[in-house]
Amino acid sequence: MRTARRGNVEVPSFVRQLVRGTEKMVTFFKGGRGEEEEEEEAIPSPYLDRPVLEKHLEEGRASWGLTYALASMQGWRTHMEDDHSCVPELGGELSDWGFFAVYDGHAGSMVARHCSQHLLDYILATGAIKVAGDEEEVSEGIREGFLRIDRHMHAMARRGSWDRGGSTVAGVLLSPRHVHFINCGDSRALLCRDGRVCFYTEDHKPYSPYELERIQNAGGSVTAQRINGSLAVSRSLGDFSYKEAEWRGETEQMVSPEPEVCSLERSPGDEFLVLACDGVWDTVGNEELCAFVRNRLQVCADLREVCAQVIDLCLYKGSLDNISIIIVCFPGAPQVSPVALQQEAELEDLIEAKVADIFEELRERDEEPGLLYVLNDLASVNLPGLPPGGGITSKRNCIISAYYQQKEGCKPQAPLDLGGSGD
């Protein structure tokens, strides 16, 4: 039976101070214009002056042993355009099959939202997803489902109001024997097996030789690594202004809706899957993320919290995009370890001691460190036991907590009123 819990997590106000460094980056991307130039600017910035840090969290499980969690955050973008599908059990004779996907919308959220609600139905409607089906038949059903939903949305776009944008998709269709990886664009999925990255999907970028050839054959060009100098992905659902070459087939347009589908036989060594939008991959590599998630699973029993820590890591590393991640754990995933918990506790004690040392050193000079000073100081120190793939950046919340404990301890204490009576 499918189970799920959802929630939105409020962010402590002090955490927001951590984004100051990224604010400088956002100002750069926004151009740092003066007031007069801002009034003349015709195109609004895609970035906010302050990020939206609240997280949406979701978790669930399947009766056959799979667990999953999702975390997403709007971040610095003016709108939240990501969406997702989490279906751990398809039901009926496919009750031991599952489907998970992330959708990274651009130039609007309509395509991503529509696909999150209907793409799986289009795939199942092909009739190719069945217990007795072979790998090639399943793969063809997935491809046909993508083409059908894209045709449907294209028809709706011609009839009325529709986002001019589109959405990338990274997903997996799980059967009892196989993992069918699905990729259309530059979101990404990876599998961790026996402690390492076993497989990951390849991004569809306009400058890739095969993609570039198709774009040029459809009358397009690639400038600054973007189609016609604008779109940074070469495959997606939607983006119909790039699919109007009447002399080319639907999979031969500048932007193709055809997914790349790869099937991998499942193994007892399978630990977890990660599906994430490029708001994650722009800041963290495959091996880094695999190592970080494995480490966090050994110290945290709440899979939603592991997802949330990945989002924080990406934000602190400077991600300017919406950030969404799904982690799907198999029975062979790492479990909470007493040894790992002890090491984590020792690391956090060490961080607290280092923060206290910084305060003590500056107090002797009648100074008080700012938060960014403490963060930068600790970044230059070689601390043993930092999470692999995350480093000191992944412990920023611990540093913040220690910082404010010290700051609170520096406040002058009010004199005690002993309640004595005068004569």
Measured between alpha carbons, how far is 266 from 180 in angstroms, rounded to an integer? Answer: 10
Residue 133 pLDDT class (50, 70, 90 cuts): confident
* Residue 420: per-residue pLDDT: 52
Residue 11 pLDDT class (50, 70, 90 cuts): very low
Domains in the chain: ranges and CATH: 57-329 (3.60.40.10), 338-409 (1.10.10.430)
Measured between alpha carbons, how far is 382 from 397 in angstroms, rounded to an integer? Answer: 18
- The more confident residue out of 5 and 160 is 160
* Residue 18: per-residue pLDDT: 53
The beta-strand segments (E) located in 26-162 are 47-61, 67-77, 82-87, 98-106
Give a three-class secondary structure readout of 146-176: HHHHHHHHHHHHHHCCCCCCEEEEEEEEECC
Measured between alpha carbons, how far is 330 from 32 in angstroms, rounded to an integer? Answer: 47
Residue 367 pLDDT class (50, 70, 90 cuts): confident
State the chain's mean pLDDT as an integer. 89
Tell me: pLDDT of 227 over 50: yes
Q: Which candidate, 270, 274, 264, 266, places its Cα nearest to that of 332?
A: 270
Share of residues in the chain with pLDDT > 70 (%): 87
* Residue 97: per-residue pLDDT: 96
Tell me: pLDDT of 132 over 50: yes
Measured between alpha carbons, how far is 110 from 167 in angstroms, rounded to an integer? Answer: 9
Calculate mean pLDDT across residues 163-167: 90
The CA–CA distances, whole Å, from 208 to 205, 284, 407 equal: 6, 21, 52
Q: Are strands 222-223 and 188-193 parallel, antiparallel or unpaired?
A: unpaired
Tell me: pLDDT of 230 over 60: yes
Tell me the helix, strand and coil percentages in the chain, rounded to 5.
40, 25, 35
The answer to whether the CB of 102 falls within 8 A of the CB of 170 is yes
Measured between alpha carbons, how far is 97 from 176 in angstroms, rounded to an integer? Answer: 7
* Residue 415: per-residue pLDDT: 58
Model confidence over 19-68: pLDDT tens digits? 555 554 444 444 444 444 444 455 778 899 999 999 999 999 999 899 99
Tell me: pLDDT of 364 over 50: yes
Handedness of CA 360, 362, 368, 372 (dihedral sign): negative
The answer to whether the CB of 358 falls within 8 A of the CB of 323 is no
Amino acid 19 reads V
* Residue 9: per-residue pLDDT: 44
Burial class of residue 255, CB neighbours in 10 A (0-12, 13-18, 19+): buried
Calculate mean pLDDT across residues 232-259: 96
* Residue 408: per-residue pLDDT: 82
Residue 413 pLDDT class (50, 70, 90 cuts): low
* Residue 412: per-residue pLDDT: 57
* Residue 407: per-residue pLDDT: 85
Calculate mean pLDDT across residues 392-416: 82
Model confidence over 249-283: pLDDT tens digits? 999 999 999 999 999 999 999 999 999 999 999 99
Residue 159 pLDDT class (50, 70, 90 cuts): confident
Task: Give me the residue label for tokens 């913040």.
Answer: 400
Amino acid 288 reads E
